Amino acid sequence: MLKLVYMFSTILLLVLLIVIIPTAVAAIIGAPLALTRKRQVKDIIKKAALKPGQIFYELGCGTGRMMIAFSKQANIRVIGFELSPLFYIFSLLNLKIHRVKNYELYLKDFFGANLNKADIVFCFLMPKALAKLRSKFEKELKPGAKIISPGFKIKGWHPYLVIKDSKNLPVYFYRR
């Protein structure tokens, strides 16, 4: 009996570590989970002025909310990255529930992803992560690609558009 309890608690501890450690790392190097507000989503999509066939990247996709919303637009391919296994599974289930077909979802650190195919990059992250991403954007993004950042500015860049909701929360739009 004691052996069984020991085995069970070891497995539980391992699972917790596998889930908790990457989730904590993501919160430190990128941002903890906070979702883009539902009421901002429609406006963001409208202002993104998508064109059929474009590729949308979400860096730190959380629950997959933005991937799902963008995938509903004409012929848009959505690609998401999530470091936390917990939120990755949540996003995967959410994409399946919403019957999203044209997607790729990676359990991986977005700093290691190549962004050269992206037409639109969505990143709801802390300023420190955005500052680190800036040089990656400059190196990898094609000219004209759009970067959408709710909440925080990308230091040293000037947004071509800022929208605010009724609570005055900004969303910054940049162009590479």
Contact residues for ligand SAM, defined by CB under 6 A: 26, 29-31, 33-36, 58, 60-62, 65-66, 81-84, 87, 109-111, 124-125
In whole angstroms, the minimum distance from the beta carbon of 7 to ligand SAM comes to 30
In whole angstroms, the minimum distance from the beta carbon of 16 to ligand SAM comes to 16
Closest to ligand SAM by CB, 26 or 141: 26
Angle, in degrees to the nearest 10, between helices 85-97 and 2-29: 80
In whole angstroms, the minimum distance from the beta carbon of 133 to ligand SAM comes to 9
Closest to ligand SAM by CB, 125 or 141: 125
Cβ burial, residue 43 (10 Å; 0-12/13-18/19+): middle
Question: What residues contact residue 89 under an 8 Å CB cut-off, 6+ apart?
Answer: none
In whole angstroms, the minimum distance from the beta carbon of 10 to ligand SAM comes to 26
Closest to ligand SAM by CB, 82 or 119: 82
Q: The sheet that has 146-150: what strands, in order across it?
A: 103-107, 77-82, 55-59, 120-122, 146-150, 170-175, 161-164
In whole angstroms, the minimum distance from the beta carbon of 14 to ligand SAM comes to 20
Closest to ligand SAM by CB, 95 or 125: 125
Closest to ligand SAM by CB, 10 or 39: 39
Residue 22 parent element (H or E): helix 2-29
Cα atoms in the 13 Å half-sphere on the side-chain side of 58? 30
